[in-house]
Amino acid sequence: MSLKYAATKVGEGHYVLPKTKEMRVDAHAFLSESLYEASDETLWDQLRNGASYEGVTGAYIMPDAHMGYGVPIGSVIVTEDTLIQAGSGYDISCGVLYMSTGLMAADIQDLTRRRLWIEEIEQRVALGVGSNRPTLMPSFDQKKADDLLRYGGQTLGVPADFCERLFIPVNEDRLVPIEKAQRKILAQLGSLGGGNHFIEMQVDEASGEVFAMVHCGSRGYGWQTAEHFFYAGAEVRGLAKNCRGDSWLRVDEPLGQQYWACHNAAANFAIANRHIIAAGVQQATDKVYGASGQVFYEISHNLIQEETLVLPDGSTKKGLVHRKGATRAMPKGHPDLVGSKWAETGHPCLIPGSMYDGAAILFPLEGAHKTACSVNHGSGRTKGRKAAKRELAERQDEINAEMRDVKRTFGGVEVEGILCNTRQVPLDECAHVYKDLDAVLDVLKVEGVAEVHRRLYPVANLKGMD
């Protein structure tokens, strides 16, 4: 039976997969017709899986969704009293931080100074595992690291309005030390990591304002934490080790409480990590351009959070919202924003795209309630890493030239080229392995979920090293 073709189109960008005997709820897919047609059965099978866990009350995929581990990347699963590890994944609290720089497009036209900006960041931020720390990168002692695990951005003095959450409370009595995770804390705190993690200088297409984006997560601490509880959860649920991605935990059982405490500590590590990296980027920007910007906002897109859900009749209830490759999007008037800077506007949603096609800052609309107050976390991959390297190898020179020669106009000022910290453009991260970001964002627009506030494009990029 085809799950994809069992789905019914109920809106211009909204499909519903009715629940089958194993599904606990209908599943909602927010896709344009072209994105729906391009989706494969594996994605829909994982969506069904996400809607079939114990305690699930809502299941959704965003327009950037693609196959993940256990559940799709780009999915949102809501539960009453269960924790689904796949709903946060291995890179717990991977997310994005945007900072304003105080610069304009005319200030960054010069390629030499942009290259120097990259080099100055390399002196302040470890782009790999963090064991070889750059000269100007800060170090932390164990006491500071322990505080960061418990209080995240608050430990660094970050204002609350700059964060989705300054920190997530950690139950000290349930925070179990995981040896492999503990070994990663001091070595990797302040490091970027590999894969799709990056630091990027971007320019607003309309205004010409220059921003910097940091994209990274909880590094080896989060990965080892997730791995530990995937295996432990599989044992408790009676699953084979190779099926550990299907494990889940009750919030009132000892292992569930331990996972929740360790998951939250990993999230706090990630929050702090992004702000530590941002401080290095600020220092580099000041050194090269004499400009001192500030953090605009920081938000996660791999996280389980307890939130207030606003139901269609206007009533509310609490739920555990699992966003795997999805971004929180609470519109104005949301109960959880009361008392914050964003209560009357909704909070920003920070959406990275490809290293060629750029990124966006969104603000949620009332329609966000039908997605459990969630939007996409990027544009979404169309090729896996191995396939990209294999299939695009003959186009390496063309892709290098594409980045080197691109010219774009920002607020009336032309800027040429996207500089990289790598000799060759990484084929597994180039524009040709991602969906079109604007097509993805259009789904949110037509469904009244969110609107684009800023559309930004890269002019310099530092990729993390594995």
In contact, 140 and 255? CB cutoff 8 Å: no
The alpha carbons of the chain give a radius of gyration, in whole angstroms, of 21
What average pLDDT does the structure give for the chain?
Answer: 95
Tokens of 19: 């629940």
In order of 89, 181, 232, 306, the CA distances from 254 in angstroms are 20, 20, 12, 18
pTM here is 0.96
Q: d(Cα 305, Cα 295) in Å, to the nearest integer?
A: 23
Q: Is the pLDDT of residue 128 over 80?
A: no
Beta strand spans in 244-331 (E) = 248-250, 294-300, 302-310, 316-324, 326-328
Q: d(Cα 236, Cα 316) in Å, to the nearest integer?
A: 33
Which helix (DSSP H) or strand (DSSP E) does residue 181 occupy? Answer: helix 179-182
Q: Is the pLDDT of residue 165 over 70?
A: yes
pLDDT for res 313: 82
In contact, 331 and 348? CB cutoff 8 Å: no
Is 3.30.43.10 the CATH classification of the domain at 79-463? no
Confidence band for 131, pLDDT divided at 50, 70 and 90: low
Q: Is the pLDDT of residue 43 over 80?
A: yes
In contact, 323 and 306? CB cutoff 8 Å: no
Q: Dump pLDDT digits (tens) for 332-372.
A: 999 999 999 999 999 999 999 999 999 999 999 999 999 99
In contact, 10 and 20? CB cutoff 8 Å: no
Q: Is the pLDDT of residue 1 over 90?
A: no
Give the residue extent of every domain in the chain: 79-463
Q: Is the pLDDT of residue 34 over 80?
A: yes
